[in-house]
Structure 1
Amino acid sequence: MTINLNIVVADPSVIIRSGIEVTLKRIQGVRFHIDEVSAIDTLYEFLKKRKPDILIINPALLGYASLSLLREECACPKLKCVALLYAVAERSLLNQYDEFITIYDSAEDIKNKLEKISIQEEEDKTEDDDELQTLSSREKEIVVCVVKGLTNREIAEQLYLSAHTVITHRRNIARKLQIHSASGLTVYAIVNKLVELGDIKK
């Protein structure tokens, strides 16, 4: 299953914006819709109209404005914000961001960080659901893979994820369902019609 993410890249430099876009489009397993913004006044209007999933922004562009105020004024309360850094930044500056990336990060680094905040978003969406709806679609995919006998590495390859992300998903699945064994997940998957008996590895 391909993840779809709507992203706005906000930076005054066209070279940086274009470089981020090219890097994101090289990442497998994620389909990005990317828009570029070069000025703060344009950004506010853009966010109000587009309501993206993630904002990747140069903190200098934001100035002294707060991200909470930005989310409020643009009516994007669940907008995930990623700081785009050229150099080392003060930790206090980054506290209000969900994540940060640097211009030296590899495509794999960026993928892992975006997956991390996407996982958090999926958890937020399912937090108030009942048990049958607790798992996100990605987590259900991982349950099916576990039940079929795939290793973490095989799951990562099949779903275009990093092994670290698979482990994080499995930890979240265990926490949500309070199931800590493959046999327990098998029963859960059968009862909730995620798999057929014939799909289970003997």
Structure 2
Amino acid sequence: MVPPIKIAVAEPTSIVRSGLETQLRKLLHYKAQIINLLDENRKEWQDVASVISADIFIINPLLTGSNPRLYLPNLPYETKLLALCHSPYDPIFLKEFDGVISLSDTALQISETIDQLLHNESSSSSASSDSQSLTPREREIIICVVKGMTNKEIAGQLYLSTHTVITHRRNISKKLQIHSPSGLTIYAIMNKLVELEDIKQDL
């Protein structure tokens, strides 16, 4: 039986809310119960957020700024916060969120992100251990991804086949449990693989 999860959504644009709800109903491993916190008839959404119980909050970061837990102080620590991004953000702005999804994400990508968030502590510890086992080549590929290079461009720079690059990227995702370029960017900055100034120069 597919376990249920409660997902609270704080997004001011009705067409985005509608599309997101459609995608959330396609989750692979969970049955989503969706609560729209902000719609045409509910303006004080943060008051509602403080009294409901949800496993995940999906929030447009423009509503809370860079520190959503400061903006929503009554949320339980175990509640996961996902940023719903309409456009690229500076990774530092999103570092207080537990994950990121974007308007271009497929139902599968959203499902993978939510699966990652809801892993238990032992899985998180295992992923942390795996992150220490990245090979030098995998670190090089992460740096290239963070700089916005395509698989073909990475292959050309590192003298690899495109297939090999794709294989490396799959292995990186499995080891780190990170499935998006924005997530890899945050990882790379936090682990000093790149400097924020380097990324800004390449944008």
Q: Report the equivalent of 1:105.
A: 105
State the percentage of identical aligned residues.
25
Q: Report the equivalent of 2:87.
A: 87
> In structure 2, how many angstroms separate the alpha carbons of the residues matched to 1:59 and 1:51?
20
| Of 61, 65, 78, the match for 2:63 | 61
| Aligned residue type for 2:36 | E
- How many Å apart are 1:108 and its aligned residue? 0.3
Query: Is contact 2:37–2:45 with CA below 8 Å preserved after alignment?
Result: yes
Q: Report the equivalent of 1:123.
A: 121
> In structure 1, how many angstroms separate the alpha carbons of the residues matched to 2:15 and 2:58?
15
TM-score of the aligned structures, taking structure 1 as reference length: 0.55
| Aligned residue type for 1:3 | P
Q: Report the equivalent of 1:26.
A: 26
In structure 2, the gaps of 5 or more residues are 126-169, 176-203
In structure 1, the gaps of 5 or more residues are 128-162, 169-202
Query: Is contact 2:85–2:103 with CA below 8 Å preserved after alignment?
Result: yes
Q: Report the equivalent of 2:44.
A: 42
Query: Is contact 1:55–1:81 with CA below 8 Å preserved after alignment?
Result: yes
TM-score of the aligned structures, taking structure 2 as reference length: 0.55
Query: Is contact 1:47–1:76 with CA below 8 Å preserved after alignment?
Result: no
Query: Is contact 1:48–1:76 with CA below 8 Å preserved after alignment?
Result: no
Aligned residues: 127
CA shift in 2, pair 1:78/1:43, >3 Å: farther
- How many Å apart are 1:78 and its aligned residue? 1.6
Query: Is contact 1:44–1:74 with CA below 8 Å preserved after alignment?
Result: no
> In structure 2, how many angstroms separate the alpha carbons of the residues matched to 1:94 and 1:35?
23
- How many Å apart are 1:26 and its aligned residue? 1.9
SS at match of 2:50: helix
CA shift in 2, pair 1:28/1:45, >3 Å: same
- How many Å apart are 1:67 and its aligned residue? 2.1
Larger radius of gyration: 1
Q: Deviations over 1:5-34 (max 9, x none)?
A: 110111110111111111111223311110
SS at match of 1:50: coil
